Amino acid sequence: MAETQRVALGFLLSCCVFLSSCSQDGDVDQLNQVPRGASEHPNVLLIVVDDLRCSLGSYGDATAVSPNIDALCRRGMRFDRAYVQIAACNPSRVAMMTGLRPDTSGVRRLATPFRNNVPDVTTLPEHFMAHGYHTVGRGKVYHLKFPDPQSWSEPHRVSKTPVKYWTERQWDLLTQVRERLRREGRPDNVIKNLRPPTTCDADVPDRLRHEGAMTNATLATLRRVAKGKQPFFMAVGYVNPHLPFNAPRKYWDLYDRENLPEAKNPFPPDGAPHVAMNTMHELRYHCDFTEVPRPWEGVLAEADRRRLVHGYLAAVSFVDAQVGRLMAEIDRLGLADNTVVVFWSDHGFKLGEHGSWGKKTNYEIDTRVPLIVIDPRIEMAGRSTSALVESVDLYPTLCELAGLPVPAHVEGTSFKPLLAKPDLPWKEAAFSQFLRDLVPEHDEVRGNAVRTKRYRYVTWRAHATDELLHEELYDHAGDPQENTNVIDRPVYNEALIRLRELQQQGWRAALPRSLRPDL
């Protein structure tokens, strides 16, 4: 597809979202919502996206067609160095929604319900509800298995439209592969969890996909709560661009597969331990990638690589269109002047970088995420900041923007001052971690990462004994893709002294004195 055609299609897509949002429900024209003036307690719209790396036009990606998310940046502030606490869905979302770091909540895995560990913690929406807000959750906000009913003023809902949709031929392939795995004697849990192929580009309308159907339902809810007397806190979660990549065909048509750029570093970092890499089990769940090599064993075939990149970008554009519909309705209802909007992803995603696909590492490509904040009461349109911020910072920030007290348990730092002054001196470091299990020498190995303006420092320790097993150091001054572990080079000895201090002393030590709660 020619560049001019791609841009034109993206422009038309963004222009159509308003008409699309207005045509979904018959009661739109009868609402006559009166615009609300700016308030001390504004509404909050929190948009949560799964697996979205910074593959957006507004973040410098020349390939991605993301006009509606890019438009958010023109209305608010783009954070260029936002980091999650863990690059996995459930623990990342728990950190953001509770304000607790994983070492405090104990939530480091997908299968850990946070209420089991911290039953009395007050979540972000629960705190807003206690202070007079009507709180609503739609889609994947928490991990889907743990919706946490006590966070919401009304039942949390997801679309009943299936997340997955494949052709009859693809379902047949799933059956064939299951039979082959049985003949080979594979474990029962592998066969049971096997999924249909990773991609589907059926020519269907948005409403027949989870994201489109969920947006339709969310728009109807938004119209209802906008008429209420209480300010609202609405969290809307999108599953795409999580695997499988099943956006409607029109989003695939925005891209020319043969001309899509591929990862420039399709190899593990030089000098990195194997435990630092994921095993690509997420791809291996799908019947078209059961034999995928591990990152240190080889790379995917070119046709497979291009198909996955194409599917991912199509899914990004699909979500982008839904974001456009949400914002068009915010504008149409006259809510824009009194609604704080936050756009956040739970972690990044590798598309061949380091020879890998998926997330679940401590590297930059997995832990750095897009974060956009709009507050119509602050002059911030089109600004950006390079200050280091973390997912746990969203809880106190939203409290302060809404005029609410910040609970004592929160372990993040409000970045509200950055919205007015993006160049303020800020955190020295952001902290991430990952707990790797099924490691032959140890039952569990814990990786902890410190990200400063220039460096990423990672330690891997035996979780049970705290024995140091491996160290990694990456110098972003000359190696922004983190391709070479320079931990053994003497020139970095002085920098390592401070990085090791930061990791040992923890997040409070990374704050400037003006932000230290203990000073």
Contact yes or no for 135/102 (Cβ under 8 A): no
Catalytic choice (73, 89, 200, 287): 89
Residue 89 bears catalytic tag: yes
Nearest to 104 by CA among 459, 399, 431: 431
Q: How many residues does the chain have?
A: 519
Q: Helix axis angle, 302-332 relative to 210-226, nearest 10°? A: 20
Phi/psi of residue 113, nearest 5 degrees? -70, 125
Phi/psi of residue 449, nearest 5 degrees? -115, 140
Instruction: Extract the tokens encoding 12.
Output: 């038309």
DSSP 310: H
Nearest to 331 by CA among 341, 316, 342: 341
Nearest to 446 by CA among 146, 116, 106: 106
What percent helix, strand, coil does the chain show, rounded to 5? 40, 20, 45
DSSP β-ladder status, 134-139 and 43-49: unpaired
Amino acid letter at 473? L
Nearest to 79 by CA among 295, 320, 397, 353: 397
Largest CA distance in the chain: 71
With helix as H, strand as E and coil as C, how does 255-306 read? CCHHHCCCCCCCCCCECCCHHHCCCCHHHHCECCCCCCCCCCCCCCCHHHHH
Nearest to 14 by CA among 459, 325, 290, 408: 325
Catalytic choice (134, 143, 463, 470): 143
Residue 22 bears catalytic tag: no
Q: Helix axis angle, 67-75 relative to 302-332, nearest 10°? A: 50
H or E element, residue 386: strand 383-390
Give the distance, in angstroms, between the CA of residue 284 and the centroid of all CA atoms in the same chain. Answer: 21
What does the alpha-carbon distance between residue 475 and residue 477 come to, in Å, rounded to a whole number? 5
Using DSSP, state whether 99 is helix, strand or coil: coil
> Which positions are catalytic?
89, 143
